[in-house]
Chains A and B, each alone.
Chain A
Amino acid sequence: DTGVSQDPRHKITKRGQNVTFRCDPISEHNRLYWYRQTLGQGPEFLTYFQNEAQLEKSRLLSDRFSAERPKGSFSTLEIQRTEQGDSAMYLCASSSRSGSQHFGDGTRLSIL
């Protein structure tokens, strides 16, 4: 079973640096989602793609955050000029048009 794959699993970086995460969804899924989860909280929605189109963005997604899904397959989430408050687990999920969302293992970001 090839589930949702995220890379890297862990990222440690200094404040002010840029980071990029990758998500490979389940191959037949055309919908892809990014969420952020901080300690002791449930995941919070960041953005959603249907194929290559970014259809929804949360107010949590400041202008330092950008997400792409150029060919409607994998997606990248970039954070520019990282801040301490960006430390979190970044989760990717995918679904078919009418299906439930399947989550990856996440990328844990730590800002020094």
Chain B
Amino acid sequence: AQSVSQHNHHVILSEAASLELGCNYSYGGTVNLFWYVQYPGQHLQLLLKYFSGDPLVKGIKGFEAEFIKSKFSFNLRKPSVQWSDTAEYFCAVTHNNAGNMLTFGGGTRLMVKP
């Protein structure tokens, strides 16, 4: 069974610091990759996704992620975080042999200090 690992469970940054959240997955075949964000009290929202093509994907709110197939990784980055980025971030994967079910990582809780 495939799995998704997010190495950082909690991250605390000051405003304007750069962010990189790690995500690794275990499946070796063709995958679709996602980052979702959950702001306090809100539902999961899609930040960005990778299906194919350019491995550097740009999403909403200045986030981007890079798919590195050889490393089974899809790390999320933002050059300069804001207080409003305080949220929980989830990496997720689907693959062709598992229909459309999303397999999520355990999440990373980000706190940005003003």
Binding site for B on A (CB under 8 A): 3-4, 31, 33, 35, 40-45, 48, 55-56, 58, 91, 93, 95, 100-106
Please measure, in the bound complex, the distance between the C-alpha atom of A95 and the C-alpha atom of B99, giving whole angstroms. Answer: 13
Task: Pick the contact of A41: B34, B42, B107 (CB < 8 A).
Answer: B107
Using CB atoms, name the residue of chain A closest to B44: A103
- B102 contacts the other chain (CB 8 A): yes
Task: Pick the contact of B43: A40, A41, A100, A104 (CB < 8 A).
Answer: A104
- B46 contacts the other chain (CB 8 A): yes
Using CB atoms, name the residue of chain A closest to B94: A101
Most B C-beta atoms less than 10 A away, residue of A31, A100, A102, A105: A100
B99 touches A101 (CB 8 A): no
B101 touches A100 (CB 8 A): no
Q: Which residues of A contact B100 (CB under 8 A)?
A: 31, 33, 48, 95, 101
How many inter-chain contacts with C-beta < 8 Å in the A-B complex? 54
Binding site for A on B (CB under 8 A): 4, 6, 34, 36, 42-46, 49, 90, 92, 99-107
Q: Which residues of B contact A93 (CB under 8 A)?
A: 44, 102
Given A91-B44, A100-B49, A106-B43, A43:B101 Cβ within 8 A: no
Other contacts beyond A42-B6, A101-B102: 10, CB < 8 A: A4-B43, A42-B92, A44-B104, A48-B99, A48-B100, A48-B101, A101-B100, A103-B36, A103-B44, A104-B43
Using CB atoms, name the residue of chain B closest to A103: B44
Q: Which residues of A contact B105 (CB under 8 A)?
A: 42
Q: Which residues of A contact B92 (CB under 8 A)?
A: 42
Most B C-beta atoms less than 10 A away, residue of A35, A44, A101, A104: A101
- 5 A-B pairs (CB sep. < 8 Å): A4-B43, A33-B101, A42-B107, A45-B102, A93-B44
